[in-house]
Structure 1
Amino acid sequence: MSLKDIATRTVVLQALADAVDAELKAAKAEQAAGLKQAKQDAGTRQIEATLPDGTVVAKVTLVSPMPSAVVSDNAAFTAWVRDNRPDQIKREFVTTVHPAFVTSLLKEMTAAGVPKWCDKETGEVHAVPGIVMQPRATSTRTTWEKDGKNSVAAAWKAGRLAGIALPELTAGGAE
């Protein structure tokens, strides 16, 4: 294969990948919105993805993660750490909190679902200033059946996907 042929093959594959990627992003957004609405309307959190012949190839699940703790006011948070856990202060030209402590603290608060921290040594529960619980985006998760991807590939090669997405690409491929 000549360099020109390789370059042509590469740009054609890139153009196809870009077209599929754009279509995939739009489909995922539509899927997430549809599942979110289905959950509100009927409590549906999961749906099967099937080929036109009825073959189940995957299950798509709505994932609604719990809010996560984030530092919203660094000065207030740093002042609290300085007063309550001075061993976690890193002194330089500026006062900062040890990054590992921030990570640990935010992880604990995220697990608890509240911007509070319990000192394991004293049992005292602290409402930590400068921390808020931030909602995380709802997303979907695809769980493929054992031969799901192979079934999709076979349906594509047989030209059975034209009505689903990108008809110019899904009319069938070469072996």
Structure 2
Amino acid sequence: MTTEQNVESLRDLAIEAATLKLLAERVAVARKDAQARTQRALDAAAARDGVERITATLPGGETVATISLRKGETGPVVVDEDTFARWVRATFPDEQWTETAIVRRVKAWKAAELLAEMAAAGAARVVVAEQVDEQTGEVIADAVVHDVPGVAIRPTRARTHAVTWRRGGKDATAEAWRTGALDGQLAALTAREGDAA
């Protein structure tokens, strides 16, 4: 004797899959827009008033999350690979830290090492350690500080913000969505194609 198992309707699965795909696409667009607007507002508030965080509060007054500004980072960025490679080759002629193809490039591991040194210094500058004669122990050349061409200190990570949920915040937000309390904030998700959000 065989037992019949409940099998989901293929039609039900198809509409669920199509609906979730549409919702995911619209959420992605709305999220990107909300993040950009939030970032602009946070940047303006930080510049104007020193505000670096704001709470997310539901229409009923319950605080569900905190939005915090994250500062960007700056660091050394190779802006002219050829110039940088020529400098590495000229400064360290006995080392095989560059490769010659159509253009000379610094090997990735050495570029990372040099850029890390520049990041620590906060400038496109490298200190070449003093050279010592291995047999006599005498200093042949003192340490030399080089300004490195082809590298600039630039933003390496954009300023952004993060959402930190409070305990129970996700459930409270889901309930507010379910009951329609967030219809104004989520109107873009159910708008007709081509309607202004």
Shared fold (TM-score, shorter chain, > 0.5): yes
Higher alpha-carbon deviation: 134-143 or 91-100: 91-100
Residues 25 and 93 (structure 1), Cα distance of their counterparts in 2 relative to 1, 3 Å cut: closer
Residues 114 and 168 (structure 1), Cα distance of their counterparts in 2 relative to 1, 3 Å cut: closer
Q: Which runs of 5+ in 1 are unaligned?
A: 170-175
Residues 151 and 112 (structure 1), Cα distance of their counterparts in 2 relative to 1, 3 Å cut: farther
1:138 is displaced (CA, Å) by 2.0
1:88 and 1:97 in contact (8 A); partners too? no
Q: Normalising by structure 2, report the TM-score.
A: 0.74
Residues 166 and 111 (structure 1), Cα distance of their counterparts in 2 relative to 1, 3 Å cut: farther
2:97 to 86, 89, 103: 89
Higher alpha-carbon deviation: 33-42 or 143-152: 143-152
1:115 and 2:117 matched: no
Q: RMSD value over aligned CA atoms?
A: 2.2
Distance 2:68 2:45 in 1: 11
Larger Rg: 2
Matched position secondary structure for 1:67? strand
What fraction of aligned residue pairs are identical, expressed as a percent? Answer: 35
2:27 and 2:189 in contact (8 A); partners too? no
- Answer 1 or 2: which has greater helix percent: 1
Matched position secondary structure for 2:13? helix
Alignment of 1:24-173 (within 5 A): 24-86=31-93, 87-91=95-99, 93=101, 95-119=104-128, 121-122=129-130, 123-135=143-155, 136-166=157-187
Q: Which runs of 5+ in 2 are unaligned?
A: 1-7, 131-142, 191-197
- Deviating 4+ runs (over 6 angstroms): none
Higher alpha-carbon deviation: 74-83 or 92-101: 92-101
1:168 is displaced (CA, Å) by 6.2
